[in-house]
Amino acid sequence: MKTVLLFLSAFFCFYSPVNAQLFNKAAKDIKKAEDFISKKQYEDAIKSLEAALDNSKGKDDYEVYYLKGFCQYQLKKYDQALEQFNFTLAKVNSKQVLPSKPDEFVLNGLLYRARTYEALGDYTSAIKDLQLLTTGKTKPELRSEAYEKWSRNFYEMDRIANQDRAELIIAKAIEVDPKNASALCYQAELAMNERGYEEAVNPIERAIQLETDVFEKARYQSLLALCKYRLGKKEEALKIFKEAVETAPESTKWKIYQQHANLVILHHLYDPSMLSQAKLWSNRAAILSEECSNSITFAYMLALNNDLTQAKEVIEATPTCQNPLLRLSKDSLGTWLDDLVKSAKQNIKVKAYGNSSWYYWGSSKAGLAEGRGKAISKNFLYELNNGQFVKGELVAGTLTNVSEGWVYNGTFKGETIAGNGTITYPDGEKYTGKFLNNLPNGKGKWTYSNGSTYEGDVVNNVPEGNGKFLGEDGTAYEGQFKKGKPHGRGYLTVNGNREMAEFTEGARTDAVFLARQKEAQQKAEENKREQQSLAMQRIKQEELAKAEKRKKTGKFIGKTLALAGGAYALKQASDLGMSDLDVTELGTALVTDLLTDGKENALMNTLAAKGASNLQNPITNPATPGQPSGASGAAGAKCDCKNDPKSMGYLNKAKGGGDAQVMALYGQRACYEYILKTCPNGAQQQLAKQIADVTRVINQMENTK
């Protein structure tokens, strides 16, 4: 009682009117903060939340910590936000698992802590929180968002090495929530990274249909327009670009203009008309918004249109900042523009890769490029590094095709790729050897993306002549090639076995192989026929075995019934006053009939000898039970089963073939039922038992079929 009183005393003390007032005040402070957050007045919201913490006395602190962290995240105070989210997730941090029924602020705390880590560049920690979100029994929308951000962060950690894994993770995001428009768009962007523009069209179109935010929809349209342009549908692309701007809200049109221009830069859409259009877009973005990233985009686009002087002026007037999408800072762009301006003023004659219009900086002599230098084509599609020039002519260096992504390192002649060099493609395929007229020609070695190799003669970029191919599985062919395929004679090695072979346009046609192939085909057909024959034999044997089983079963059951019927007949004979000796002789005759399947007809002969021939042989006539001796006249005729159409119908079916044993049993049962009904003779119980026995035997025989 004392403990209870103490508890009640503490309870009422704790919930005093003063404390209740404090709790109400804390709740009001939280509500006030939420109102500030809805108006994006985050500084004021933080003040209200701090007041709520002072008044809560430990109540609802976790939710308040989350709201403070959210506000500081929005204010880009990431270190302070991280501290608040850590308070929010204190219990989760200690266990590294989600509660079975996590509160909403816990889930949001994990999500925004991941976003904070992402903003700080700590992708590993961000991914840990996102992975935790995917394990809980949360809403599909939240889990899908966690998978999406996991994919984005993982890709940012290593854009080359993590491309494939990022694709798998984003596919999981879409599987969890097929209506996640942002995930669909990112799936398309990953495809576009590998120039899969056709593959990207479908998910972008689905994202556009699902997206309700006008700005995001316009952004997706920009990506769709880019894909259409890359697929050769220029007019359609420009139309979609225009629609994207028209559908965007006035307050965000500058973002769409900037997005258009950035996409042209990122994906190297350096067609003169597209560059001219993108210049207008970037200019409009810079006019509509003073955000410095716009100035970087505009300056870059001026340079791509060869307006170097104006580009330099724009970048010099731009404050120190960075364009995150282009991954380009004011300083790095300014340095690049300085090089271009200096090279443009040099007026040095340089010829490189079939285009005399280049920006060049490096050593020179008598107004010509001489020695080492680097250059960029004025259409910005080619970059040259470590170049070696003689009298303005490029003789060696590393040439990058910016748009297509391939890199050539080697010699040049007469403004073309010629001589010895190595070309590497974006998918990892590589050729090292002789070049002529910008293509592999002569002796060289291909290393394909799947690990296979070819070494030998090459004509216009394909194997032709004599060479050796080695597959990733160890298969090898050494001999003649034509248009990239084995053609002619050579040696083929498969599973370590080397033999002479002949090919026609990639198909093996030598007589030995064709004969062996024919033999193998015949053998396969023989094996097939043999297997079919064996299968038929097995089926036949199984059917014979089943038939024999049924026969033995039926025969055994039939003899059992006959023995039962014979015993009944002997009992009748004994009841009629036959001596024990006579009955014994009848029993011996019955056994003789059983052993000979009734062929001896011994029982009937013995019955006749004893003057009891009116008793029936249950073996030779199983469907007609024995009748008592002396049953004659009208009664005898009435008890004869030959007068029962049903019994005789079954017996006729038994004689006509089919399953005779079963039909005979049906007839026997019908006969018993007929006698039981029409000829009461004091053996009703015995007949009823025999009917039940015959029914059970019929069921057993039918189940063994």
Q: Count the neighbouring beta carbons within 10 Å of the beta carbon of residue 583.
A: 15
Q: 105 Cβ partners below 8 Å, 6+ apart?
A: 62, 63, 66, 67, 88
pLDDT greater than 50 at residue 7: no
Ranges 3-12, 396-405, 691-700: which has the least confidence: 3-12
Angle at 350 between CA 377 and CA 344, to 5 degrees: 65
Per the structure block, which two tokens stand in for 33?
């903060």
Q: Mean pLDDT across the stretch 333-352?
A: 90
Beta bridge partners of 456: 444, 467
> Can you give the pLDDT at residue 514?
78
pLDDT value, residue 139: 87
Predicted confidence band of residue 639 (pLDDT cuts 50, 70, 90): low
Over residues 295-301, mean pLDDT: 94
Pair of tokens at residue 701: 């025989």
**Average pLDDT value for residue range 636-649:** 69
572 vs 618: CA distance, rounded Å: 13
Percent of the chain with pLDDT over 90: 43
Q: What is the mean pLDDT of the chain?
A: 82
Q: What is the pLDDT of residue 586?
A: 66
Residue 582: its H or E element: helix 580-595
Is 665 in contact with 697 (CB distance < 8 Å)? yes
Give the residue-averaged pLDDT of 645-651: 76
Q: How do residues 67-107 score in pLDDT, each as one tens digit?
A: 999 999 999 999 999 998 888 888 777 667 777 778 888 88
Question: What is residue 584's predicted lDDT score, i.e. its pLDDT?
Answer: 67
Q: Which residues contact 437 (CB under 8 A, 6 or more apart)?
A: 416, 417, 418
Most confident of 375-379, 407-411, 578-582: 407-411
- Tokens 């994990």 — which residue? 110
Dump pLDDT digits (tens) for 654-668: 655 556 667 777 777
Residue type, 146: A
Which pLDDT score, from 0 to 100, does residue 116 have?
94
Q: What is the pLDDT of residues 431-474, one digit of tens each?
A: 999 999 999 999 999 999 888 999 999 999 999 999 999 988 88
Q: How many residues does the chain have?
A: 705
Averaged pLDDT, 346-360: 85
In the chain, the percentage of residues whose pLDDT exceeds 70 is: 80
Average pLDDT rounded to a whole number, residues 316-334? 92
Residue range 207-264, pLDDT digits in tens: 999 999 988 999 999 999 999 999 999 999 999 999 999 888 888 899 999 999 999 9
Cα(541)–Cα(538) distance, integer angstroms = 5
